[in-house]
Each structure stands twice: as C-alpha cells, then as structure tokens.
Amino acid sequence: MPLAVVNCSQLVTLAGPARPRVGAEMRELSIIADGAMLVSDGTVERVGARREIEALMSGDCEVVDAGGRVVLPGFVDAHAHPVFAGTRVDEYELRALGATYQEIAASGGGIRSTVRRTRAATEDELVASCRRYSEWFLRTGTTTVEAKSGYGLSLEDELKILRAIRRLDSETQLNYVPSFLGAHDVPEEYRARREAYVALLIEEMLPRVAEEKLAEYCDVFCEEKVFTTDESWRILSEARCHGLGLRVHADQLSLSGGAQLAAELHAQTADHLEHTDAAGINALKEAGVQPVLLPGSVYALGHTRYPAAREMIEAGLAVVLATDFNPGSSPTPSMPIVLSLASTHLRMTPAEALTAATVNAAYSLGRGDSIGSLETGKRADFVIHDCADWREVAYFFGLEHARATYVAGRPVTLK
Ligand code: NIG
Ligand code: FE
C-alpha cells in the first residue's frame, strides 16, 4: 500500500547534487516547512509542500500523521564495531581511577579482552546478544550501520563475526554494511611472531572473506604498537586485489601516518584523525578520501584532542560523522549524541553535522544513490523526531527524540 507522511513541521530532505557535499553545501539541508512525502514500494516517490502532496494522494493510501514533528532521513552510521561479546565496564571503572586506554591494552585488556570473550561465543550467541544493539540503533534513528569484524582475529572467529553480521542484516530491520577488520590487533598467540599474523591475514583470511562475499570493505587499525604503515599498506593492497573497498583507522592516538597512507591508497575513508596535521588533510583532499570523525570515542576515553573538523571542511573535504560504537572506546550507538559533540567540540554547525551523518555517510559507504536523503527514487528510510525544529535533536541532548523509525517505508517494531 502506498504511504503518505503528512503534517511534518520540517521535512528535512537533504536533496542536492548527487555526490558528497563539501564546503558551504554542507549547510544546505533543503528543508520543506509543513512538508509531506509519498512513498510507494518502499521508495520515496515525491516530497513537497503539504498541499502539493495531498493533491496526489490516492484513496488507498495509508496516512502517517507526523503530528507537527520533524522528519529526517535515517542516520547512516559509517563506522561501528557492533558485534562483540561481553562489555568492558570494568575498564570503564579503571579509567575513572586513572588508568589510560593504552595502559589497559598493554596489560592484556582492551581489544584483546573482548577478543577472548568473542572467541568463546558461538555465532548464534552473537546474533542473539547483538540484536539488542540493532534495536538501540533503530531506536535512536539510525537505519544503516557499517559493521566491522575485528574481535575474532583468527580465520574461523572472523568468519563467525561476519556471518553474524550477515544474519543481523537479514533478521533485523537495521541495514548492515560489513567490513573485514582482521587487522584490528595482533592476537595474543602471534605476539612473538607478528609477521606470521600479517601473512595469515593476506594469504588465508582475505581470500576466504572475499570468496564468501562476507565483506564490502577492509579496514586496518594503523597505529603505533598495532599495525605499522608498512603492514597496513600490504594488507590493504591485498584487500583491493580482492575487490574490497578500503577504510583506515588513522592517526587516532598518535600521528602515525595513517591519513597519508589512506591518501596513497586512495582509500574510501580515513577514520578518527585526531592527530592528523595540515599535510595529512591536504593529502586526503588531493586523493579524494572522505574523513570519518568519531567524537564519541574522544569523549568516552576522556581525551581532549578532537579532530580538526573546521580545517577539513574549509579544505573542501566531504566530512562524515559516526559513532564508532564499540565496547571499549565508544560505547554509544547514538548519532544524536555524536551530533551534539560535533557542534560543541568540533565546531561544526548543526547543519554540517547532519549532512555528515546522513548523505555524506551514505556516499562513504558506496550507497549515495539509495540512502542518506529523502529524494525521489531513494529508499524510504526516515524517522519522526519529537521536536518542531530539527536542531533540537542534538541541542537537547541525553535523551532520544526519535519517535518512529521507518525502513523502506515500513515502521520498525521494537520489543
Ligand atoms: O575505533 N581504535 C581501534 N578500534 C576501536 C576501539 C575498539 C575497542 O577498544 O574495543 C576504535 O576506537
Ligand atoms: Fe573504530
């Protein structure tokens, strides 16, 4: 049945050129006051002023009355680690007592503690426990999430996580875009022979992941004490040979050359970038790499150094914002919280932040033609937020405004 969404105080469409938005374009949201939208077959058929849409409504049309609230496209979260077992609440407490993220990692905690628990879980157990996070994303207004593996670090455990992601994509209403992050850390048993782990990644894991079509992207944690730029280059180059797109965890904890590497490889994205300098920003611009900024992880680690978002926007980069949802450095699935941090700490205007969280994020996942804005022909992923001015979604922070989430024109039902 066709659907008409009416009585939207603001229908925030983000209609615009069919490419990622840069510079001043990031402030143009194409808002329709007192707007309405027609949806058929799960796709946006038309957006417009209430009168214009009402004239087109047929008798068999199902009407969704937004009640004078705001309608936004579903958020597209382009960087998350949403499949893991257990939590790291103990480390949260240790950090409050003064331990740093790096000290905890060096003593066997951090990523490796989540790896131990994730290895011990079956695929069924992971799917069952991570449905909870699917619901959280949908509840806060996110309709597509990028999902990295990376807590298995063995062939079978990485495949298990990627298969769990595939099942979550088909069994829940949230859409997942899978990325292989076997190079998230060097696992315990390879610590004394890291070269053998890089060989395992290149010779066995990547070919298998590609053969089973379990991932669209490959990511590497390029950082001091994790993977060097040389190792990252080898892994990512091999991934490209298997047809995978490239993403890089770059310059998160130090200026380790990750942004330069992403530029050299013409990766799709370079993510984090807290320590990236002007030369790194220029390199990203020259190479057309999209920066994915993750202020939730800076905040949750209690750090103070946020990425240079203003310089990136001024340099003409198509900035993206994402949650980095994971049990260690960023335990939040909330894009509204990320939008709030973007305006308070990255000095992005609310409009720039929303563009970064929707249409630019969609392009960074190779899905700019189907999601990220409410335009004719795109999938009808939209959310009714309980406010009259869309900026309140981030301005009043610490609560969720999303009242109803729709994926491909269907209401999301939450338990
Ligand atoms: O993006 N930096 C590496 N990976 C994650 C943290 C993962 C974890 O601590 O479990 C991040 O911040
Ligand atoms: Fe991450």
Each residue's pLDDT tens digit, 53-66? 999 998 899 999 99
Give the pLDDT confidence score for residue 253 in this predicted structure. 95
Radius of gyration of the chain (CA): 21
Looking at the chain, which residues constitute the CATH 3.20.20.140 domain(s)?
A: 76-364
Residue 223 alpha carbon, nearest atom of ligand 1: 2
Give the pLDDT confidence score for residue 75 in this predicted structure. 99
Cα–Cα distance for residue pair 282/340, rounded to 1 Å: 27
Task: Give me the percent of the chain exceeding a pLDDT of 90.
Answer: 98
Which residue of 94, 111, 323 sits with most ligand 1 atoms within 8 Å of its CB, as the best mutation to test the pocket? Answer: 111
Give the tens place of pLDDT for each residue, 97-114.
999 999 999 999 999 999
CB of 324 closer than 6 angstroms to any ligand 1 atom:
yes
Give the pLDDT confidence score for residue 414 in this predicted structure. 85
Nearest CA to ligand 1 atom 12: 329
Looking at the chain, which residues constitute the CATH 2.30.40.10 domain(s)?
A: 3-73+371-411
**What's the first-to-final CA gap in the chain, in angstroms?**
25
- State the Cα angle at 217 between 216 and 218, rounded to 5°: 140
- The mean pLDDT values, 10 residues at a time, for the chain of 415 residues are 96 98 98 98 98 93 97 99 98 96 94 98 98 98 98 98 98 98 98 97 98 98 96 98 98 97 98 98 98 98 97 98 98 98 98 99 98 98 97 96 98 90
Instruction: Answer yes or no: are the C-beta atoms of 76 and 365 closer than 8 Å.
Output: yes
Give the pLDDT confidence score for residue 58 in this predicted structure. 87
What's the CA dihedral at 115, 116, 118, 121 to 10 degrees?
Answer: 160
If you measure from the C-alpha of residue 81 to the centroid of ligand 2, how many angstroms do you get, rounded to a whole number?
6
Residue 114 alpha carbon, nearest atom of ligand 1: 10
CB of 343 closer than 6 angstroms to any ligand 1 atom:
no
Give the pLDDT confidence score for residue 59 in this predicted structure. 87
Cα–Cα distance for residue pair 72/374, rounded to 1 Å: 8
CB of 74 closer than 6 angstroms to any ligand 1 atom:
no
Give the pLDDT confidence score for residue 1 in this predicted structure. 87
- Torsions phi, psi for 38 (to 5 deg): -105, 135
Give the pLDDT confidence score for residue 198 in this predicted structure. 98
Residue 324 alpha carbon, nearest atom of ligand 1: 1
If you measure from the C-alpha of residue 350 to the centroid of ligand 2, how many angstroms do you get, rounded to a whole number?
23
If you measure from the C-alpha of residue 374 to the centroid of ligand 1, how many angstroms do you get, rounded to a whole number?
32
CB of 297 closer than 6 angstroms to any ligand 1 atom:
yes
Give the pLDDT confidence score for residue 57 in this predicted structure. 92
CB of 110 closer than 6 angstroms to any ligand 1 atom:
yes
DSSP state of 374: -
CB of 276 closer than 6 angstroms to any ligand 1 atom:
no
Give the pLDDT confidence score for residue 397 in this predicted structure. 97
Ligand nearest to the CA of 256: 1
Nearest CA to ligand 1 atom 6: 329
CB of 252 closer than 6 angstroms to any ligand 1 atom:
yes
If you measure from the C-alpha of residue 178 to the centroid of ligand 2, how many angstroms do you get, rounded to a whole number?
13
Ligand nearest to the CA of 298: 1
If you measure from the C-alpha of residue 126 to the centroid of ligand 1, how many angstroms do you get, rounded to a whole number?
19
Give the pLDDT confidence score for residue 237 in this predicted structure. 98
Cα–Cα distance for residue pair 110/127, rounded to 1 Å: 22
User: By three-state DSSP, how is residue 366 classified?
Assistant: coil
Q: Which one-letter amino acid corresponds to residue 220?
A: V
- State the Cα angle at 311 between 306 and 315, rounded to 5°: 140
Ligand nearest to the CA of 222: 1
Hey, what CATH class is 3-73+371-411 in? mainly beta
CB of 334 closer than 6 angstroms to any ligand 1 atom:
no
CB of 328 closer than 6 angstroms to any ligand 1 atom:
yes
Superfamily for the 76-364 domain: Metal-dependent hydrolases (3.20.20.140)
